Amino acid sequence: MRITKLEHAALILEEAGHRLVIDPGGLTNPILGLTDVDAIVITHEHADHWTPDQLSRIADTNPGIPVYGPSGVARAAEGVDITTVAPGETVEVAAWTLRFFGGNHAVIHPTIPIVENVGVLVNGRFYYPGDSFYVPLGVQVETLAAPAGAPWMKISEGMDYVTEVGAKRVFGTHDGVLSAAGLGLVHDRLKAVTEAKGGEYFPLKPGEFIEA
The verdict on residue 25 lying in a domain is yes
The verdict on residue 62 lying in a domain is yes
Count of structural domains, the chain: 1
Q: Could you list the residue range(s) of the whole structural domain that residue 72 is in?
A: 2-207
Portion of the chain with pLDDT greater than 90, in percent: 99
pLDDT band at 9 (very low <50, low <70, confident <90, very high): very high
| CATH of residue 115 | 3.60.15.10
What DSSP line would sit under the chain, residue for residue? -EEEE-STT-EEEEETTEEEEE---TTS----S--SEEEEE--SS-TTT--HHHHHHHHHHSTT--EEE-HHHHHHSTTS-EEE--TT-EEEETTEEEEEEEEEPPPS-TTS---EEEEEEETTTEEE-SSS----TT---SEEEEE---TT--HHHHHHHHHHH--SEEEEE--TTS-HHHHHHHHHHHHHHHHHTT-EEE-PPTT-EEE-
The verdict on residue 26 lying in a domain is yes
Question: How much is the pLDDT for 38?
Answer: 98
The verdict on residue 155 lying in a domain is yes
The verdict on residue 212 lying in a domain is no
Mean pLDDT of 97-125: 97
Question: How much is the pLDDT for 55?
Answer: 97
The verdict on residue 47 lying in a domain is yes
The verdict on residue 11 lying in a domain is yes
- What is the per-residue pLDDT across 42-70, written as a single tens digit (0 to 9) for each? 999 999 999 999 999 999 999 999 999 99
